Amino acid sequence: MAPGQYSTDAQQHTLQPIVTGATVVGLKYKDGVIVAADTLASYGSDARYKDVCRLKKVGEYTLLGASGEYSDYQYLSDQLDEMADEDWLNEDGCLMGPKEYSSYIGRVMYNRRSKMNPLYNQFLVVGKKKDEPAHLMYVDHQGTAFEEDFVATGFGMHLGMPLLRNSWRPDLSLEEAKELIQKVLEICFYRDCRAYCKIRIGVCTGTSVDIGDPIPLNHFWGHNAWIEKRLENTSDAIGTW
């Protein structure tokens, strides 16, 4: 697409994602909801920024996880901060929860898509407000939004969802949920060249919202088939992969 082809002011439009984040995974467990993402923001194919947090606390009961264009995520993050501040300033004893924030995000994404100026993101909006049921919603750049018990964005949709379908249960403990979500991101790290081996996990329990410190993933690259020197002393590539 030529710059300005659909806009008189091309600087106001993201014509293609530049700095992007990969998979975000979220799932409900027995006492709340959990979400996780790696800490990498890629500059094209360059693994440029390796200590980025793509999880954000919104209000008192909600977490936002973002895949896709990082600057668009920052724009929406600023909008949500303004909403949260206004909500707090009302001082009416009634704060917005994950359902309200996910509904707002879905309308923003659909509005921007309808103006041919989308935010190039896939979001997971998760949370638990006091004694209400845990909430987990997926929202993408077209405004498509749906609730689920577990979901992943990016390549996690293809690589991680089979594992989640086989292993998820409504009565998972927090430790079991963390173990499962780390396994999904470990698989994504092995198979997705935009993924990374350091992750952050966010947990919503209904009374607290916490984003943990970065956690390194276990990984192993010493398999014999990967390190065998098959091209030495050969004149062609026959028998290699």
- CA-angle at 51, arms to 56 and 199, nearest 5°: 70
Answer whether 39's CB lies under 8 Å from 52's CB. yes
Tens digits of residue pLDDT in 174-204: 999 999 999 999 999 999 989 999 999 999 9
Residue 201's nearest CA partner among 217, 187, 220 is 217
Answer whether 188's CB lies under 8 Å from 40's CB. no
d(CA 215, CA 152) in angstroms, rounded, equals 19
Q: Point out the catalytic residue in the list 14, 20, 39, 144.
A: 14
14 is catalytic: yes
- CA-angle at 182, arms to 133 and 97, nearest 5°: 25
* Assigned token pair, 94: 């009634």
d(CA 123, CA 208) in angstroms, rounded, equals 21
Position 5 confidence tier, pLDDT thresholds 50, 70, 90: low
Whether residue 8 is predicted with pLDDT greater than 90 in this model: the reply is no
Whether residue 7 is predicted with pLDDT greater than 50 in this model: the reply is yes
d(CA 144, CA 152) in angstroms, rounded, equals 14
Answer whether 201's CB lies under 8 Å from 36's CB. yes
d(CA 129, CA 61) in angstroms, rounded, equals 5
Secondary-structure breakdown of the chain: helix, strand, coil percentages, each rounded to the nearest 5: 30, 25, 45
Counting residues of the chain whose pLDDT is more than 90, the rounded percentage is 72
d(CA 235, CA 221) in angstroms, rounded, equals 27
> Which helix H or strand E contains 37, and what residues bound it?
strand 32-38
Answer whether 123's CB lies under 8 Å from 23's CB. no
Tens digits of residue pLDDT in 98-123: 999 999 999 999 999 998 889 999 99
* Assigned token pair, 74: 């920052």
Position 1 confidence tier, pLDDT thresholds 50, 70, 90: very low
d(CA 19, CA 68) in angstroms, rounded, equals 8
Whether residue 89 is predicted with pLDDT greater than 70 in this model: the reply is yes
d(CA 38, CA 155) in angstroms, rounded, equals 13
